Chain A
Amino acid sequence: NAGVMQNPRHLVRRRGQEARLRCSPMKGHSHVYWYRQLPEEGLKFMVYLQKENIIDESGMPKERFSAEFPKEGPSILRIQQVVRGDSAAYFCASSPWTGAGELFFGEGSRLTVL
């Protein structure tokens, strides 16, 4: 039973390019959370999704950032026109259902913007 899979593990982009980060939740999990961790800082909530629905995107910047979790395939966090301040580790976590307190993290995707 594979855990939460994130790819790419490392991504380098130049300013102005687009970054796409993927997250495949654990089998049977329909809830996905994205968190950002800036260097030397804690985890910050970005967005919470269920299949085909964004439930809470209150932590996601209104511009340049978007997320989706389609019926088929992984959840994707997309950052358009990246800037140096977007350099961070982006973690995905999944949970099996709304009542569960369980939360399983991926290894993270580390974005570096040159």
Chain B
Amino acid sequence: KNEVEQSPQNLTAQEGEFITINCSYSVGISALHWLQQHPGGGIVSLFMLSSGKKKHGRLIATINIQEKHSSLHITASHPRDSAVYICAVKRDTGNQFYFGTGTSLTVIP
């Protein structure tokens, strides 16, 4: 069983739709990242969270430490948001990071 589970695996949305990607984890963590990877591209950290909520433009990330759950929301989605979104957590013991398998998002014009 993976330490980090994401859902859905694949997501197709119409431009303008509100999108939610979920991440659940089973270990104690000190930080959680939401990462973005465009096809054939590098990996960019969108957010690093340890509690609460963060907002950057049309992107919002929330985390519930007690429930071991985080969500990434995209408002007014756009085709350029099409990418793989990866949830990653840093354990609170040791220095290891664990990654979800990613959510592949396609936004159709």
Interface set of A (CB-CB < 8 Å, partner B): 31, 33, 35, 41-43, 45, 48, 55-56, 91, 93, 95, 98-108
30 residue pairs from A and B, CB less than 8 Å apart: A31-B95, A33-B97, A42-B102, A43-B43, A43-B99, A45-B96, A45-B99, A48-B96, A55-B95, A91-B43, A93-B97, A98-B95, A100-B31, A101-B30, A101-B31, A101-B32, A101-B33, A101-B50, A101-B90, A102-B31, A102-B48, A103-B33, A103-B45, A103-B48, A105-B42, A105-B43, A105-B44, A106-B42, A107-B41, A108-B42
Which of A43, A56, A99, A104 makes the CB contact (< 8 A) with B96?
A56
User: Would you give the 0/1 interface string for B22-57, flagging 1 where the beta carbon is closer than 8 Å to chain A?
Assistant: 000000001111010000011111001010000000
Asked if B86 lies at the interface with its beta carbon under 8 angstroms from chain A, I say yes
Asked if B88 lies at the interface with its beta carbon under 8 angstroms from chain A, I say yes
Interface of A: prevailing SS: strand
Interface of B: prevailing SS: strand
Q: Which residues of B contact A31 (CB under 8 A)?
A: 95
Asked if B62 lies at the interface with its beta carbon under 8 angstroms from chain A, I say no
Minimum C-beta distance from B96 to chain A (A):
7
Minimum C-beta distance from A94 to chain B (A):
12
Which of A35, A103, A105, A106 makes the CB contact (< 8 A) with B90?
A103
Cβ of A42 and Cβ of B42 under 8 Å apart?
A: no
Cβ of A42 and Cβ of B43 under 8 Å apart?
A: no
Q: Which residues of A contact B43 (CB under 8 A)?
A: 43, 91, 93, 105, 108
Q: Which residues of B contact A56 (CB under 8 A)?
A: 95-96
Q: Which chain A residue lies CB-closest to B49?
A: A101
Bound together, the chains give a CA A18 to CA B88 distance in angstroms of: 31
Cβ of A48 and Cβ of B95 under 8 Å apart?
A: yes
